Amino acid sequence: MHKKIAVALAAIALLVLPARAEGPDAADWRAVLEDAKGETVYFHAWGGEPRINAYIEWASDMIAAKYGVRLEHVKLDDTAHAVSRIVAEKAAGKDHGGRVDLVWINGENFAALKNADLLYSPGWAEKLPNWKYVDVEGKPAVVTDFTVPTEGLESPWGMAKLVFVHDSARLAHPPKTLDGLYDYLLEHPGRFAYPQPPNFHGSTFLKQVLASVIVDPAKLQRPVDEATFGQDVAPLFAYLDKLHPKLWREGRAFPQSAADLRRLLADGEIDISFTFNPSGTSAAIEAGELPDTVRTFVLDGGTIGNAHFLAIPYNANAKAGALVAANFLLSPEAQAKKQDPHNWGDPTVLDVNKLSDDERAIFDEIDLGVATLPPEDLGPVIPEPHASWMTRIEEEWIARYAAQ
């Protein structure tokens, strides 16, 4: 979370907030559909991946055809920009007619908006008609975002898990521990990189290391204790201090995104990369962005996993349209389309056993791709730390390394 946004949110939290702007009740779906007709929903979502953008364009066409709602993708390079807009509107007293109707969100951004009471009506997500298909029991991350209960303030959209990537033509047996990664780089310097925090993927790598080396992992499920923070993160930065000189460009420069990381692997500049989508590598192979010899693997002991969500700001202008869009994106049709690596490769939040035979057959027929590990080989999920850890380790990383 950027410091300016954090300061503004802190100031808002001190205000006596007015009653939440009224809106449609998702429990009365017929009325929601009627209210939504003709609305334009400004969907603020990351726009850095062509496959995701194409999927959103498909969904926009479907929503328009089925419900008479226009979904306009506002492409972001950082979700914090949407958060800052919501915060600015609140500070200006704009409690109705906001310019953000739906936002792709999770983690620290959700926690900040929830704490400042800037999200629409608790429970709306669990009233959506397609909520009945959500796998709450098998995928508990769909109701807990970075340890923060969602309370129906956001609708789950997809699942994520950190997987590492290697080109089997160059590296047949990749290291499967952090110590093994360092030892590999001692022999092959410059052959690994991670995106520069606060890029989400780079910060996820930091969390993976922290979860693996912190003395008491249980601390990560609670807010940061500033009294012990330095001691808690000392093993993380000790590892990074020794790793950085062995990184691509000796740790003096970092890729700016996951797409940059993928290009480095494709161009043969690095041997190992990572992605937060277990099927993302297969999708990249299908798109011709990676050679078909690329494969994925996970670290011994597990990797970070979570869910990502859709939220509606408290002052959204097109709340009914946003509800309709969120419900469609939760539908078996849209979730199956999204899980197919030909389109996106993003794992579903649904329990396919709850679906009809015809709907389940669509999922069964999806070819997850040559580089996608089967679920039983993905290993344990390391839960996301409390959102405050991401904020603090990003700040500490920037203070230590950004100016070098």
Token code pair at residue 183: 């030892």
Alpha carbon of 124 to those of 127, 148, 211, 315: distances in Å? 5, 17, 33, 15
Q: What is the mean pLDDT of the chain?
A: 93
- In this structure, are 258 and 313 located in the same domain? no
CA-to-CA distance for 400 and 396, rounded, in angstroms? 6
Residues spanned by the domain of 319: 3-159+307-373
What percent of the chain has a predicted confidence (pLDDT) above 70? Answer: 94
pLDDT at 108: 87
- In this structure, are 386 and 251 located in the same domain? yes
pLDDT at 15: 46
pLDDT over 90 (residue 132): yes
Q: What is the H or E stretch that residue 258 is in?
A: helix 258-266
Q: What is the CA radius of gyration of the chain?
A: 21
Average pLDDT for residues 159-171, to the nearest whole number?
A: 96
What percent of the chain has a predicted confidence (pLDDT) above 90? Answer: 87
- In this structure, are 317 and 209 located in the same domain? no
pLDDT over 80 (residue 161): yes
**What is this structure's pTM?**
0.84
CA-to-CA distance for 402 and 398, rounded, in angstroms? 5
pLDDT at 31: 98
Q: Is 391 exposed, middle or buried (0-12, 13-18, 19+ CB in 10 A)?
A: buried
Token code pair at residue 215: 């003395």
pLDDT at 48: 85
What is the b/e burial string over 189-222, where b = at least 16 CB atoms within 10 angstroms of the residue's CB? ebbbbbbbbbbbbbbbbbbbbbbbbbeeeebbee
Q: State the pairing for strand pair 154-161/303-311.
A: antiparallel
- In this structure, are 141 and 176 located in the same domain? no
Average pLDDT for residues 372-389, to the nearest whole number?
A: 91
Q: How confident is the model at residue 23 (pLDDT cuts 50, 70, 90)?
A: confident
| Residue whose tokens read 């991401």 | 390
pLDDT over 80 (residue 330): yes
- In this structure, are 187 and 230 located in the same domain? yes
- In this structure, are 263 and 396 located in the same domain? yes
- In this structure, are 363 and 347 located in the same domain? yes
The sign of the dihedral angle between the CA atoms of 214, 216, 217, 223 is negative
Q: State the pairing for strand pair 272-275/148-149.
A: unpaired
Average pLDDT for residues 86-111, to the nearest whole number?
A: 95
Task: Say which range, 76-80, 268-272, 298-302, has the weakest mean pLDDT.
Answer: 76-80
CATH of the domain at 12: 3.40.190.10
- In this structure, are 32 and 129 located in the same domain? yes
- In this structure, are 59 and 120 located in the same domain? yes
| Residue whose tokens read 């807010």 | 223
The tens digit of pLDDT for each residue in 196-251 reads 999 989 999 999 999 999 999 999 999 999 999 999 999 999 999 999 999 999 99
Query: What's the number of domains the chain is made of?
Result: 2
pLDDT over 80 (residue 9): no
144, 341 Cβ separation under 8 angstroms? no
CA-to-CA distance for 13 and 2, rounded, in angstroms? 17
Average pLDDT for residues 173-182, to the nearest whole number?
A: 98
The tens digit of pLDDT for each residue in 364-374 reads 999 999 999 98
The sign of the dihedral angle between the CA atoms of 184, 187, 188, 193 is positive
pLDDT over 50 (residue 380): yes
- In this structure, are 72 and 195 located in the same domain? no
Helices 80-91 & 3-13 angle (0-180, nearest 10): 40
Average pLDDT for residues 357-364, to the nearest whole number?
A: 95
- In this structure, are 93 and 175 located in the same domain? no
- In this structure, are 251 and 177 located in the same domain? yes
Token code pair at residue 184: 């590999």
